[in-house]
């Protein structure tokens, strides 16, 4: 980046460090932080949408829909998260390719599943082998976001379902006594109040989601953990112009500080949001606010 970086062997001290920290690979490291933040910004609302749909289905009066909702909310129990992540990435990728295969290659007579191999016609592959690199990276990121949303949506469904059940039944019965329909009671009474009960669990889920972002490394996305390992290692041919010892501890220490700062900011925002939602509510938090205002 700097004009004096043309000959790294002649540099030392801060000049060497400034050139080292502004290499193209380090720019990839800095951009990976943006990738993580974008992942969280997209995944959180999508997972919340999946969770709301799952929780709503779980309390549905329609039996098949209720069974489907409860099955979705139950997928997070007893199975490690990493197993879900690796499974959904493979399953979604093959599922998308199979659908494209059915549309684009209807005359294909060979089985798609051949032993341990999954084989589709060339034009059905995602992405195409002729696609530019950014398409491959975008597709991988899309699969990662969808996988995170499905898995954490199941967690959110459990939390929201508990929040719905925590709303006093007497309030729902009162709304029905005043002539509200089941739909009106759901949207006007249940949904506005359930967030107060669900927010602590959703806050914890947000923290877990933040800590789960290093799993992007296992899903093939070049995230901050990938770059920290690559840049900090000693035996790396990419950086022969800037040789150094094993600096992984410093890179991972930087990640530690980043995650601690991010979670602290999240805690502050969640605390303020909880105060806002609890205001005027007939809950422990709302009663505490009321007494504080009257003191």
- At residue 287, the pLDDT reads 47
Per-range mean pLDDT, top range of 15-29, 140-154, 222-236:
140-154
Residue 245 dihedral angles phi and psi, to the nearest 5°? -80, -165
The crossing angle, in degrees rounded to 10, of helices 133-166 and 24-58 is 40
Would you place residue 240 in the very low, low, confident or very high pLDDT band (cuts 50, 70, 90)?
Answer: low
Long-range contacts of 210-218 (CB under 8 A, 24+ apart): 210/40, 210/259, 210/262, 210/263, 210/266, 211/259, 212/81, 212/148, 212/152, 213/36, 213/39, 213/40, 215/81, 215/82, 215/85, 216/35, 216/36, 216/39, 216/144, 218/82, 218/85, 218/86
- At residue 206, the pLDDT reads 92
For residue range 33-90, what is the model confidence (pLDDT) as tens digits? 998 899 999 999 999 999 999 999 998 888 999 999 888 888 776 677 788 888 888 8
The DSSP H or E segment spanning 157 is helix 133-166
8 A C-beta contact, residue 197 and residue 205: no
Query: Could you tell me if residue 266 is inside a domain?
Result: yes
Say which range, 26-40, 58-72, 117-131, 177-191, has the weakest mean pLDDT.
117-131
Residue 22 dihedral angles phi and psi, to the nearest 5°? -115, 20
- At residue 215, the pLDDT reads 80
Quick one: which of 226, 276, 269, 57 has its CA closest to 153? Answer: 57
Query: Could you tell me if residue 78 is inside a domain?
Result: yes
Query: Could you tell me if residue 32 is inside a domain?
Result: no
- At residue 44, the pLDDT reads 93
Query: Could you tell me if residue 62 is inside a domain?
Result: yes
Residue 267's domain comprises: 43-294
Percent of the chain with pLDDT over 90: 18
Quick one: which of 181, 188, 139 has its CA closest to 167? Answer: 188
Report how far residue 18's alpha carbon sits from residue 197's, in angstroms, rounded to the nearest whole number: 50
Query: Could you tell me if residue 107 is inside a domain?
Result: yes
- The domain that holds 206 is classified in CATH as 1.10.3720.10
Query: Could you tell me if residue 9 is inside a domain?
Result: no
pLDDT exceeds cutoff 70 at 279: no
pLDDT exceeds cutoff 80 at 24: no
Report how far residue 142's alpha carbon sits from residue 165's, in angstroms, rounded to the nearest whole number: 34
Query: Could you tell me if residue 18 is inside a domain?
Result: no
What are the residues facing 114 on neighbouring strands?
117
Q: Is 118 helix (H, G, I), strand (E, B) or coil?
A: strand
Residue 117 dihedral angles phi and psi, to the nearest 5°? -95, 145
Quick one: which of 254, 156, 161 has its CA closest to 208? Answer: 156
Task: Taking residues 21-40, report their average pLDDT.
Answer: 86
Quick one: which of 35, 239, 40 has its CA closest to 137? Answer: 35
Would you place residue 261 in the very low, low, confident or very high pLDDT band (cuts 50, 70, 90)?
Answer: very high
Quick one: which of 225, 212, 222, 226 has its CA closest to 150? Answer: 212
Max distance between CA atoms of the chain, in angstroms, equals 84
Mean pLDDT in the chain? 82
- At residue 50, the pLDDT reads 93
Task: Taking residues 183-210, report their average pLDDT.
Answer: 89
Q: What share of the chain is helix, strand, coil (3-state, %, to 5)?
A: 75, 0, 25
Task: Taking residues 165-178, report their average pLDDT.
Answer: 86
Task: Taking residues 153-179, report their average pLDDT.
Answer: 88
Higher-confidence position of 73 and 279: 73
- At residue 237, the pLDDT reads 47
Task: Taking residues 187-204, report their average pLDDT.
Answer: 88
Query: Could you tell me if residue 34 is inside a domain?
Result: no
- At residue 159, the pLDDT reads 92
Task: Taking residues 126-150, report their average pLDDT.
Answer: 85
Domain count for the chain, please give it: 1
Task: Taking residues 269-274, report their average pLDDT.
Answer: 87
CB atoms within 10 A of CB 253: 13
Say which range, 9-18, 107-116, 133-142, 194-203, has the weakest mean pLDDT.
9-18
């Amino acid at each position: 980046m700097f004009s004096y970086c043309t000959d790294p062997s002649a540099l030392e001290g801060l000049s060497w460090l400034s050139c080292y920290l502004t290499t193209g690979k380090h720019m990839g490291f800095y951009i990976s932080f943006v990738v993580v933040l974008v992942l969280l910004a997209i995944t959180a609302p999508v997972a919340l949408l999946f969770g709301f749909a799952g929780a709503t289905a779980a309390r549905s009066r329609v039996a098949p829909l209720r069974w489907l909702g409860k099955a979705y909310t139950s997928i997070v129990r007893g199975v490690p998260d990493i197993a879900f992540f690796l499974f959904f990435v493979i399953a979604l990728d093959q599922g998308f390719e199979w659908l494209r295969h059915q549309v684009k290659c209807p005359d294909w007579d060979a089985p798609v599943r051949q032993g341990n191999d999954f084989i589709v016609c060339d034009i059905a592959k995602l992405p195409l082998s002729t696609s530019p690199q950014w398409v491959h990276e975008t597709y991988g990121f899309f699969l990662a976001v969808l996988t995170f949303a499905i898995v954490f949506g199941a967690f959110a469904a459990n939390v929201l379902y508990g929040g719905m059940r925590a709303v006093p039944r007497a309030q729902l019965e009162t709304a029905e006594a005043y002539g509200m329909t089941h739909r009106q009671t759901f949207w006007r009474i249940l949904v506005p109040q359930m967030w107060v009960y669900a927010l602590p669990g959703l806050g914890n889920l947000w923290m877990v989601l933040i800590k789960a972002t290093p799993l992007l490394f296992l899903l093939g996305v070049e995230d901050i953990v990938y770059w920290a390992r690559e840049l900090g290692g000693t035996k790396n041919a990419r950086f022969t112009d800037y040789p150094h010892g094993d600096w992984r501890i410093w890179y991972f220490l930087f990640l530690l500080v980043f995650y601690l700062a991010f979670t602290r900011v999240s805690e502050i925002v969640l605390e303020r949001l909880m105060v806002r939602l609890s205001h005027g509510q007939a809950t422990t938090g709302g009663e505490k606010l009321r007494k504080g205002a009257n003191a």
